[in-house]
Chains A and B, each alone.
Chain A
Amino acid sequence: MAHGVGRLIFGENPRRTTVRILILAAVSVVTFGWVLIPIRAEGPSMMPTYRSGSLNLVNRLAFLMKSPQRGDIVAIGIAGPHAVYIKRIIGLPGERIAISDGTVRINGQPLDEPYVRNRSAWTMTEVQLGSDEYFLIGDNRGMREEEHDFGRAHRSRIVGKVVF
């Protein structure tokens, strides 16, 4: 009986199956420990794109070959990779960003943001981004401005791209 169960689990060639299990475990540890980091969104700032409590994956290799682009949703590290902000990139290095009556302006031109559903009359005076700075903001603009963390962050703060 025990032999039958063992054969059912490990198959005809237990040694090969064990090696496969070990390889699968190693690949999983590397993938979910360093490459695709699972995170849980907390708070309403990215609604409706991501709801509070949703499980997401951050691809840490996304920006190895190319720079972050406008519209990318990224994880921003807070003193390390375990607590992160999830925000959308709206401003790229060197650009001027302002918000007037809830409308984001890039170099003076209004930005089309189809992902924003509710929009309050937020206002921010124009800021000039440095050569390694990005401007990040959540999709939920219906909440109070002072309760929503947004602003400039250095490139080195970007942990990776939220892919799921």
Chain B
Amino acid sequence: MLRRAEIRIIGIATLVAAAAVFAWRAVFPSDERQIRRQLTRVAEQVNEQPQGLSAIASAADVASAFADDVVIDLGQGTPIRGRETVIAIVARLQPRTSRYEVRIRDMDVRVDDSRSASVDLSATTSGENGMDAREFQLQMVKREGKWLIARVTPVQVLEK
């Protein structure tokens, strides 16, 4: 039988070990965790309602999550190519898109190697006209220590 003092020492050691693991994960997040944070941040920024110059700054902030040569294919119309185009589109559309709330759900992150990863996620938009949900596949690349969105393609859940 363990004595009370020994139980206390084991308890404290367990707490210290848990705190160390928690601190380690907070300071050095895994690639998967970094990608999840990055994408969640993008959704939060899209939902902001900046005005005037701050709208341009906000658009640049959103676009910083994308690679220079990003290709965004939303399944309709011509794909969006390049980060500069993303900034222009986000700055122009943000007054309209901020009327909708974008949420990312069910994110499935697969890190292929130290420089590339793929993500399946469903994005929902809710606003005046109800709610819409779409599934996308993202290709992520790691450049200069930061995970960036390199390609966005829609996933057809129901194929004709």
Contact = CB atoms under 8 A, between A and B. Distances in A.
The answer to whether A and B assemble together is yes
Interface of A: 42-43, 52, 76, 78-85, 87, 124, 127, 136, 149-153, 157
A78 B108 contact: no
B124 A83 contact: yes
B122 interface: yes
8 contacts: A42-B126, A42-B130, A42-B132, A78-B157, A79-B135, A85-B133, A87-B158, A149-B158
A152 B105 contact: no
Interface string B131-160: 111111000000000000000000111111
Given A78-B106, A82-B122, 20 more contacts: A42-B126, A42-B130, A43-B132, A76-B157, A78-B135, A78-B157, A79-B105, A79-B122, A79-B136, A79-B155, A80-B105, A80-B106, A80-B108, A82-B106, A85-B158, A149-B158, A150-B160, A151-B156, A153-B157, A157-B157
B159 A79 contact: no
Nearest to B121: A79
B122 A127 contact: no
Contacts of A80: 105-106, 108, 122
Contacts, number: 62
Nearest to B106: A80
Interface of B: 105-108, 120-122, 124, 126, 130-136, 155-160
A79 B106 contact: yes
A152 B155 CA distance: 13
Contacts of B126: 42
Of residues B121, B131, B132, which shows the largest number of chain A Cβ atoms within 10 Å of its Cβ? B131
A150 B122 CA distance: 18
A55 to B, nearest CB: 14
Nearest to B136: A79
A42 B105 CA distance: 16
B144 to A, nearest CB: 29
Nearest to B156: A151
Given A82-B106, A83-B122, A136 B135 contact: no
Of residues A52, A127, A152, which shows the largest number of chain B Cβ atoms within 10 Å of its Cβ? A152
A78 B159 contact: no
A127 B135 contact: no
A85 B107 CA distance: 17
Of residues B126, B135, B155, B158, which shows the largest number of chain A Cβ atoms within 10 Å of its Cβ? B158
A43 B131 contact: yes
Contacts of B155: 79
Top-3 shortest CB links A-B: A80-B106, A151-B158, A83-B133
Of residues B126, B134, B157, which shows the largest number of chain A Cβ atoms within 10 Å of its Cβ? B157
B160 A124 contact: yes
A52 B158 contact: no
Contacts of B132: 42-43
B122 A152 contact: no
Contacts of B158: 76, 85, 87, 136, 149-153
A61 to B, nearest CB: 20
